[in-house]
C-alpha cells in the first residue's frame, strides 16, 4: 500500500503544478489576441515578446517568448534597447502569422517597427519557427515628428495592406505597405489619422500630445479607429483611457459621435479608469464565433496598480461600440 499511496501523492503534486501553471488575471501590457485551432494566444510587451495561451480566454499558460535573444539589427538600430519589446500586433495574412513589434526606449522617438512570421502558433508543432524579417519602419529624431511604435496591420477595401502606428509627437499615422506587407509601398503614401494638441510648458500635462496605440477594426460600412489617450505605465497614477472614431474609408477622416475629427482632438470615450482600475487602454478588437471582444490592459487598483489583461465583449449601439453590460 505504501508505494501506491506514494505514487498517488506524486501524481497529485504533478496535477497541482499543472493547475498552477494556468493563471487568471495575467500580468500583461499592450495585449493583442488571436485564435488558432481552438486555442487563444495573447501576445504582449515583454522581454522577447510575451506569449500566453488559453482554451477558454480565462485560464492562461505562459509560453516561451518569441525571441530568445534581442534581434541583432534592433540592438544596433536603437541605442539603449536591451530586448524588452513593446506592443506586438498579430494577424493571419498570406498564409502566415504576421507579428509586428516595436523597438524603442521610453520617451524617445528613435524607434523601429519590426516583423516576424510563423506558419503556426502552436509551440508543439514541427512547423513552429519564428522568422524575423527585421525593420519595416523607423523614426529618427530631428527628421520625423512621429514615433514608429504600436503597429497595427489593416487591409483596405481592395485588400491592400496598411500599417497604422504612432505615439505622442504629432499623432497616429497610417502608411501603405507592399503586397507582402514587409516594406513600405513606393511611392510612399502617408496619412495622419489622429492627434492631440500639445500644451505649452507648465500647463496641465493631461492630454499633452498623449495619444498612442491605434487599432483599426472594420465593422459593416465603417472602419473604426480605437486609440489610447493620456498616460499609461504609471501604475496607480495612470490616466489611460480609450476613445474611438469611425470613417467609411480606411484613410479617414475619422470622426467621433459629435462629428469632431480625431485629427483635431476628437474621439468618443469608450472606457476610462474607475475605482477598480486606475487606467485602461492599449486595446485590440477581435471577433470569435460572432462575438466582438475588446482586449486591453488595466492597472488594478486592488493590486498596487499592476497591469493585467482584461477581455470584455462589445455591443454596437447605432453603429458605435459599447461594452456589453453583464
167 labelled binding-site residue:
yes
Residues 6 or more apart whose Cβ sits within 8 Å of residue 183:
136, 177
Match 525571441 to its residue by C-alpha cell: 67
| All residues at 6 or more sequence positions from 75 whose CB lies less than 8 Å from its CB, including other chains | 81, 82
Which three cell numbers mark 157?
477595401
30 is in an annotated binding site: yes
| Active-site annotation holder among 89, 212, 230, 300 | 212
Active site residue 30: yes
CA distance 33 to 309: 11
Q: Is 5 annotated as a binding residue?
A: no
Answer yes or no: is 43 a known binding residue.
no
Q: Is the peptide bond before 253 cis (omega within 30 degrees of 0)?
A: yes
Is 150 among the annotated ligand-binding positions? yes
d(CA 192, CA 169) in angstroms, rounded, equals 12
154 is in an annotated binding site: no
Q: What is the rounded CA–CA span in Å between residue 156 and residue 152?
A: 13
d(CA 62, CA 108): 30
Ordered strands of the 60-62 beta sheet: 22-23, 60-62, 50-54, 39-44, 32-36
**How far is the C-alpha of 250 from the C-alpha of 82, rounded, in Å?**
35
Is 94 one of the annotated binding-site residues?
Answer: no
Residue 149 annotated in ligand binding = yes
The grid coordinates listed for 310 are 482584461
The answer to whether residues 225 and 254 touch, using CB atoms and an 8 Å cutoff, is yes
Catalytic annotation on 212?
yes
What distance in Å separates the CA atoms of residue 137 and residue 187, rounded to the nearest whole number?
Answer: 15
Contacts with 40 (C-beta within 8 Å, 6 or more apart), sequence order: 33, 34, 53, 54, 55, 56, 57, 288
170 is in an annotated binding site: no
Residues that constitute the known binding site: 30, 107, 147-150, 167-169
Residues that constitute the known binding site for substrate: 30, 107, 147-150, 167-169
Catalytic residue set: 30, 212
Amino acid at each position: 500500500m505504501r508505494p501506491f499511496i506514494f505514487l498517488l501523492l506524486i501524481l497529485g503534486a504533478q496535477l497541482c503544478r499543472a493547475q498552477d501553471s494556468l493563471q487568471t488575471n495575467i500580468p500583461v501590457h499592450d495585449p493583442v489576441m488571436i485564435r488558432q485551432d481552438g486555442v487563444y494566444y495573447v501576445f504582449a510587451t515583454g522581454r522577447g515578446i510575451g506569449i500566453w495561451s488559453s482554451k477558454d480566454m480565462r485560464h492562461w499558460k505562459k509560453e516561451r517568448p518569441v525571441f530568445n535573444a534581442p534581434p541583432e539589427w534592433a540592438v544596433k538600430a536603437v541605442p539603449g534597447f536591451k530586448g524588452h519589446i513593446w506592443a506586438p500586433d498579430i494577424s493571419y495574412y498570406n498564409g502566415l502569422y504576421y507579428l509586428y513589434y516595436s523597438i524603442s526606449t521610453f520617451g524617445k522617438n528613435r524607434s523601429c517597427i519590426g516583423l516576424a512570421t510563423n506558419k503556426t502558433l502552436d509551440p508543439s508543432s514541427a512547423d513552429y519557427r519564428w522568422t524575423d524579417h527585421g525593420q519595416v519602419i523607423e523614426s529618427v529624431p530631428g527628421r520625423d515628428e512621429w514615433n514608429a511604435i504600436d503597429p497595427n496591420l489593416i487591409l483596405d477595401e481592395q485588400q491592400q495592406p496598411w500599417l497604422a502606428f504612432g505615439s505622442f509627437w504629432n499623432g497616429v499615422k497610417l502608411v501603405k505597405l507592399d503586397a507582402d506587407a514587409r516594406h513600405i509601398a513606393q511611392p510612399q503614401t502617408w496619412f495622419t489619422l489622429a492627434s492631440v494638441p500639445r500644451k505649452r510648458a507648465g500647463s496641465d500635462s493631461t492630454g499633452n500630445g498623449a495619444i498612442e496605440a491605434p487599432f483599426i477594426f472594420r465593422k459593416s460600412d465603417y472602419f473604426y479607429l480605437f486609440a489610447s489617450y493620456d498616460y499609461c505605465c504609471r501604475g496607480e497614477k495612470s490616466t489611460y483611457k480609450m476613445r474611438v472614431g469611425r470613417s467609411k474609408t480606411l484613410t479617414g477622416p475619422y470622426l467621433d459621435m459629435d462629428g469632431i475629427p480625431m485629427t483635431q482632438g476628437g474621439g468618443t470615450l469608450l472606457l476610462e479608469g474607475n475605482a477598480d482600475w486606475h487606467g485602461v487602454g492599449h486595446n485590440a478588437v477581435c471577433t470569435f464565433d460572432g462575438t466582438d471582444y475588446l482586449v486591453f490592459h488595466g492597472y488594478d487598483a486592488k493590486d498596487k496598480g499592476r497591469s493585467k489583461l482584461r477581455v470584455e465583449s462589445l455591443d454596437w449601439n447605432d453603429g458605435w461600440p459599447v461594452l456589453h453590460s453583464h
